[in-house]
Amino acid sequence: MKVKNELLKKLRKEKLHFSLFDPEKLTPEKASKLAKKVESYGTDAIMIGGSTTTTVDEVTKAIKESVDVPLILFPNSAQGVSKYADAIFFMSLLNSTKYAYLAGEQIKGAPLVKEYGLEPIGMGYVVINTGAPTAVEKVAKIKRLTTKEIVNCALAAQYFGMSFVYLEAGSGARKSVPNEIITSVKNSIKIPTIVGGGINGPLTAIEKLEAGADIIVTGTVIERAYPKVAEIIDAVKKFKSQS
Ligand code: 1GP
């Protein structure tokens, strides 16, 4: 459990930043260029995946050949499994109403994880509606939850033995996960909380960290090559030195 243990070790001292790359929106050349950039800015891992089905091998291979940071698959289905990654978030979308997202695709993908020797990292994934429905909310037919139900999902993830909980507003969401939800989850569980979706600047990232996020994920700001991703990573690093 090399990748997971390294991340948990780092988390004992600091907050982390993960960069999300969606293979559907990137050519291998562009992915490689952006991966080198986020690595130079200090990102702690690169996640590879998106909401719609696509093959991930070419982009994953290009990133693997370009950087040394851990590559963690963030699959939307069994098709999101690539032999070129280091690890895979073996995740269940806990508030999906579709069997495929709860366990079906995971069962299909499990033999591939074994065959490719990928490190599985158990993760409970919860999609939170913060306004207009996002792609993941529509595709996975998400059940909208109260704060109490979100906390209960996070607790269930912990009791299943999962290593992380991911509170997701959806890629490109206009609003990120509300701070009070992050705080309620953080105060109720012992496993680290990942927060992503709609985090488009350093001030929002700091707010989420102050609310209790352990790991900040950004995707859209990287794809659009906004210089803001450097500022966001910098804010996460500075937060580390204050805590
Ligand atoms: C999506 O949380 C991630 O899974 C990233 O979202 O693209 O809005 O940064 P953004």
Q: Please check the confidence at residue 241 and state whether its pLDDT lies above 70.
A: no
Q: Where are the domains of the chain?
A: 2-7+16-242
User: What is the average pLDDT across 104-119?
Assistant: 98
Q: What is the pTM of this model?
A: 0.96
Q: Which residues contact 224 (CB under 8 A, 6 or more apart)?
A: none
Q: What is the dihedral of CA 108, 110, 116, 120, to 10 degrees?
A: 140
> Residue 172: CB within 6 Å of ligand 1?
yes
Q: State the average pLDDT for the chain.
A: 95
Q: What are the tens digits of pLDDT across the range 159-185? A: 999 999 999 999 999 999 999 999 999
CB 231 within 8 A of CB 202: yes
C-alpha 174 – ligand 1 centre gap (Å)? 11
Query: Under a CB-based contact definition with an 8 Å cutoff, are residues 188 and 155 in contact?
Result: yes
| pLDDT-derived band at 240, boundaries 50, 70, 90 | low
Q: Which of 52-61, 110-119, 172-181 has the lowest mean pLDDT?
A: 52-61
| Closest ligand 1 atom to 136 CA | 4
Q: In DSSP terms, which residues pair with 164 in a beta bridge?
A: 123
pLDDT in tens, 180-236: 999 999 999 999 999 999 999 999 999 999 999 999 999 999 988 667 999 999 999
Query: 111 CB contacts (<8 Å, ≥6 apart)?
Result: none
Look at domain 2-7+16-242 and name its CATH class.
alpha beta
Residues 71-97: pLDDT tens digits? 999 999 999 999 999 999 999 999 999
Most ligand 1 atoms within 8 A of CB, residue of 16, 17, 20 to mutate = 20
- Atom from ligand 1 closest to the CA of residue 199: 9
End-to-end Cα separation, the chain, in angstroms:
27
All residues at 6 or more sequence positions from 21 whose CB lies less than 8 Å from its CB, including other chains: 31, 34, 35, 46, 47, 48, 59, 63, 219, 222, 223
Mutate to test the pocket of ligand 1, among 16, 47, 218, 222 (most ligand atoms within 8 A of CB): 218
Ligand 1 in reach of 49 Cβ (< 6 A): no
Decide if pLDDT at 243 tops 60.
no
Mean pLDDT of 24-35: 94
